[in-house]
Amino acid sequence: MESTNGLVTDAEIKSFFDSAPPLRDSAGITNKLKEFIQLNSAPQGNASPRRVVCVTSGGTTVPLEQRCVRYIDNFSSGHRGSTSTEYFIKAGYAVIFLYRRGTCQPYCRSLPEDPLLECFEFTNGSNVQVRQSYSEAVKRAINDHHAAIAAGHLLKLPFTTIFEYLQMLQMIAISMRDLGPHAMFYLAAAVSDFYVPWKDMAEHKIQSASGPLDMRLVQVPKMLSVLRKEWAPMAFCISFKLETDTKILLEKADMALKKYKMHMVIANELLTRKEEVTVVTADKKIPVRRDKTQAGSDVEKPLIELLVEKHSAHIKDADK
């Protein structure tokens, strides 16, 4: 079933989706997507319709048992995706934020690990109040977040497993198809490379009594090429490559660019990813760095500025 050129075959993709447990509330998600895209693709007065970006964020899990007790997880705090979402909204985009449950949310990155227990206190009159040191961060989190949702510029859709993630990504891509080149995919989620097909999975908890545990995981079909070719062929597509070994990072980013026909691949290294990334395109590699002269600056600000500019060029090209 494996194709010879490293790309996925239709049979592999069908097999993955057939093996996935059915997505809960799939009809509800479809409706939300439809409404959100309708709202944002309507002409905005004299201006052109709002651009829509799907930002994916956080890691996917791979269940090892059907009644899931154990699973493989991919480390990702969701900072990249949530911070980028803020800048996309600021730049006038509508954002579909496909995020792992429990990871960092837009406008919340300045908050401590457990905001409720750390940012609030009770006054003597037993009214809740924000601790002085957190007042700006809390105000920003609550105000800006609710404002983005109320204005219809932010749609949040949570996932946990690789099955949910890919099923939802497909639904989003298909619903964004009519936006043509005005659609963007910013795929910052840490997606599992390997999984256990649902039918091969132990139904019950794996027993630990008898010696070492040998596991065989198979590769998750790379859906990037299908996204580009079939789900949303006109959209501007950006994927991420994270490695811990700098030596192979740019080479692997280059390979991903060609293999999956991405418009750009953002290469980042685990230890320096908050300081610097490299935007890999067909003809050049552009380093993007955090502005170190500014306290509290981040690499996402210049990165999103660059991407918005490249997306404009993509739209212009398509309109020719």
Q: Are the beta carbons of 64 and 197 closer than 8 angstroms?
A: no
Query: Are the C-beta atoms of 303 and 278 separated by less than 8 Å?
Result: no
Q: Tell me the one-letter amino acid at 120.
A: F
* For a copy of itself, the closer CB: 245 or 283: 245
Instruction: Enumerate residues 212-271 that contact a copy of itself by CB under 8 A.
Output: 212-219, 242-245, 270-271
How many other C-beta atoms are found inside a 10 Å radius of the C-beta of residue 4? 6
Buried b (16+ CB within 10 A) or exposed e, 87-98: bbbeeebbbbbb
Longest alpha-carbon distance in the chain:
71
List, as own/partner pairs, every contact residues 73-79 make where C-beta atoms lie below 8 angstroms and the sequence separation is at least 24, other chains included.
Answer: 74/190, 74/191, 74/192, 75/190, 76/100, 76/103, 76/189, 76/190, 77/103, 77/104, 78/103, 78/104, 78/105, 79/104, 79/109, 79/274
41: Cβ contacts below 8 Å, ≥ 6 apart: 49, 50, 52, 178, 179, 182
CA 271 to centroid of chain Cα atoms:
20
Could you tell me which stretch among 9-17, 67-75, 168-176, 272-280 binds a copy of itself (CB under 8 A)? 67-75
Any contact of residue 126 with a copy of itself (CB under 8 A)?
yes
What's the number of CA atoms in the CB half-sphere (13 Å) around residue 306?
21
Give the interface size with a copy of itself as a residue count (CB under 8 A). 63
316 binds a copy of itself (CB under 8 A): no
Is residue 129 close enough to count as binding a copy of itself by CB under 8 A?
Answer: yes
Q: Which x/- pattern, by CB under 8 A, does the window 162-191 give for a copy of itself?
A: ----------------------------x-
Q: Does 124 bind a copy of itself (CB under 8 A)?
A: no
Rounded to a whole number of angstroms, the minimum distance from the CB of residue 243 to a copy of itself is 6
Of 20, 39, 91, 130, the residue at the interface with a copy of itself (CB under 8 A) is 130
**Closest separation in Å from C-beta 164 to a copy of itself:** 15
CB of 137 to a copy of itself, least distance (A): 10
Among 34, 205, 285, 316, binds a copy of itself (CB under 8 A): 205
CB of 267 to a copy of itself, least distance (A): 13
When the beta carbons of 17 and 71 are compared against a copy of itself, the nearer one is: 71
Q: Both ends of the chain: CA-CA distance in Å?
A: 39
Interaction between residue 101 and a copy of itself (CB under 8 A): yes
Cβ neighbors of 318 (< 8 A, separation 6 or more) are: 180, 181, 234
Measured distance CA(226)–CA(169) in Å, rounded: 11
* 25 near a copy of itself, judged by CB under 8 A: no
List the interface residues with a copy of itself, window 137-166 (CB under 8 A): 138-139, 141-143, 145-146
Question: Amino acid letter at 168?
Answer: M
Q: Which is nearer to a copy of itself, 45 or 211 (CB)?
A: 211
276 is a contact residue toward a copy of itself (CB under 8 A):
no
Contact set with a copy of itself (CB under 8 A): 6, 61, 64-65, 67-75, 101-102, 105, 108, 111, 113-117, 119-122, 126, 128-130, 138-139, 141-143, 145-146, 190, 192-194, 203-206, 208-209, 211-219, 242-245, 270-271
